[in-house]
């Protein structure tokens, strides 16, 4: 199963992809996670993308396209993947088409999560992440057992730089301008299924499962 998970910041793409991947037996491939790991490494790619990732603007298409091409060519993605955060521009749709054509395959489905702006702002404002193992928490909906400490590895939790209120607004603006046309492009191909992402995580997961299994 080759899936793309679309949706505005905070709609729950990462949360749901972490569950869909194991359900389908395929890796969760997140361009946001890949780019943040590069920033943390401090290597050339990280230095090039840092301002974009922390400021909520898009990394150039060719840079992120190259990273995705390399990742999808790895053996663990041969049987499928849940792609989270890519494509987010119409140009990236064409890049993904070329990558999949080279690999002799194609997308099965594109799932578009949605949530209202107040829900998004509440989710992103309350998100805490582990800089060590990258586990994701929420102060209300998914709190760690001990305040401020990662359940999995014991590291001190932090906020993502782009979860600042002004940066959230910029990310939403960029999403409307650059990524909404991506959903329309996949809708025109008959691949898109829209799923309400505003409910509790278990409810959203069941809706996604139904959208994957359905016609």
Using CB under 6 A, list all residues that contact ligand AP5. Answer: 7, 9-15, 31-32, 35, 52-53, 56-59, 64, 85-86, 88, 92, 123-124, 127, 136, 138, 141-142, 162, 171, 200-201, 204
Nearest residue relative to ligand AP5 (C-beta): 32
C-beta separation of 71 from 77 below 8 A: yes
Q: Under the phi-then-psi rule, with left for phi > 0, alpha for psi from -120 to 50, and beta for the rest, what region is 128?
A: beta
Least distance CB 196 / ligand AP5 (angstroms)? 10
Which entry of 2, 127, 128, 193 is annotated as an active-site residue?
Answer: 127
Residue 194 is a catalytic residue = no
Interatomic CA distance for residues 77 and 93, integer angstroms: 18
Question: Secondary structure of the chain: what % helix, strand, coil (to 5)?
Answer: 55, 15, 30
Our CB check for ligand AP5 shows the closer of 109 and 134 to be: 134
3-state class (DSSP) for residue 52? helix
Which entry of 13, 36, 128, 193 is annotated as an active-site residue?
Answer: 13
Our CB check for ligand AP5 shows the closer of 90 and 103 to be: 90
Q: What dihedral do alpha carbons 35, 127, 25, 107 form, nearest 10°? A: -60
Residue 184 is a catalytic residue = no
Residue 178 is a catalytic residue = no
Our CB check for ligand AP5 shows the closer of 20 and 212 to be: 20
C-beta separation of 56 from 172 below 8 A: no
Residue 74 is a catalytic residue = no
Query: What number of CA atoms fall less than 13 Å from residue 100's CA on the CB side?
Result: 19
Our CB check for ligand AP5 shows the closer of 24 and 171 to be: 171
Catalytic residue positions, numbered: 13, 88, 127, 160, 171
């Amino acid at each position: 199963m080759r899936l793309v998970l679309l949706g505005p910041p905070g709609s729950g793409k990462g949360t749901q992809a972490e569950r869909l991947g194991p359900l389908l037996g395929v890796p969760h491939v997140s361009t946001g996670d890949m780019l943040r790991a590069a920033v943390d490494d401090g290597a050339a790619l990280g230095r090039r993308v840092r301002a974009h990732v922390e400021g909520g603007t898009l990394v150039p298409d060719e840079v992120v396209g190259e990273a995705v091409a390399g990742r999808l060519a790895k053996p663990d993605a041969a049987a499928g993947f849940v792609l989270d955060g890519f494509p987010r521009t119409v140009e990236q749709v064409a890049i993904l088409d070329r990558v999949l054509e080279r690999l002799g395959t194609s997308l099965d489905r594109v799932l578009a999560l949605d949530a209202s702006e107040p829900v998004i702002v509440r989710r992103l404002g309350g998100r805490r992440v582990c800089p060590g193992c990258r586990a994701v928490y929420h102060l209300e909906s998914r709190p760690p057992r001990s305040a401020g400490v990662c359940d999995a590895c014991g590291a001190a939790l932090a906020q993502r730089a782009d979860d600042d209120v002004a940066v959230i607004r910029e990310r939403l603006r960029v999403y409307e301008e650059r990524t909404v046309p991506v959903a329309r492009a996949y809708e025109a191909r008959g691949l898109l299924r829209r799923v309400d992402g505003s409910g509790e995580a278990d409810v959203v997961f069941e809706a996604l499962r139904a959208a994957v299994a359905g016609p």
